[in-house]
Amino acid sequence: MAAIALFHSVYGLRSLERDTAARLRAAGHHVVTPDLYGGRVGRTLEEGFALKKEIGWAELCRRAEMAVADLPASAVLGGFSMGAGVAASLWPGRPQAAGILLLHGIAEIPTNAREGIPLQVHLAEPDEFTPADEVTPWRAHAARANIGLEMFLYPGVGHLYTDPSLPDYEAKASEATWSRVDAFLAAL
């Protein structure tokens, strides 16, 4: 089973991340869900972005590095929306990661990305935070980097469609996502 670092969205550490971690632990994985906001949670998207701005991207990434310091080099890096970017910020320094799991967002692929590294991505289509004009060149870059990319697009759902606490939630897309995540992790 995998060791997994799963980073929260811009809202902060909430039931979405805790419930996902519990689900993955029940499947036998070791999961950590670092709280990059130190216990604070945005009740709205605007509050979440204000927290992110107040703390600052560099500090969020520093906190993430500290949170995974004791995990094996092979730990899977994953995250929800903003957390996908946090996970990707750690990727260059963890080239032995067993896999990368990006939920509700894409992020920069490092120049030292290991050829064939499993990378699974789940995105709403369309998605205001990850527009198609960004996804298309990103996908081409992943192909050139020879990454083991699996990308799943979910038409007509909201950005954080796996979060039952938000209006974006869509049960069938969420169920398909978790089934695909389970298969991805089982194959590592």
Q: What is the pLDDT of residue 92?
A: 96
CA distances from 108 to 35, 86, 122, 134 (A): 22, 10, 15, 11
Q: What is the pLDDT of residue 105?
A: 96
DSSP 113: P
Q: What is the pLDDT of residue 96?
A: 96
CB proximity list for 22: less than 8 A, separation 6 or greater: none
Q: Which residue has the tokens 């809202």?
A: 11
In which element (H, E) is residue 7 found? strand 3-7
Tell me how many domains the chain contains.
1
CATH number for the domain harbouring residue 109: 3.40.50.1820
| pTM, full prediction | 0.96
Beta-strand relationship, 148-155 and 118-125: parallel
Residues of the chain with pLDDT under 50: none
Structural domain range at position 107: 3-186
Q: What is the pLDDT of residue 116?
A: 96
Q: What is the pLDDT of residue 115?
A: 94
Q: Which residue has the tokens 């398909």?
A: 176
CB 29 within 8 A of CB 47: no
Q: Can you tell me whether residue 122 is helix, strand or coil?
A: strand
Q: What is the pLDDT of residue 147?
A: 94
Q: What is the pLDDT of residue 12?
A: 98
Q: What is the pLDDT of residue 27?
A: 96
CA distances from 23 to 26, 63, 141, 145 (A): 5, 24, 32, 32
Q: What is the pLDDT of residue 168?
A: 94
List the structure tokens of 61.
């990434």
Measured CA to CA, the distance from residue 3 to residue 143 in angstroms comes to 26
Rounded to a whole number of angstroms, the CA Rg of the chain reads 15
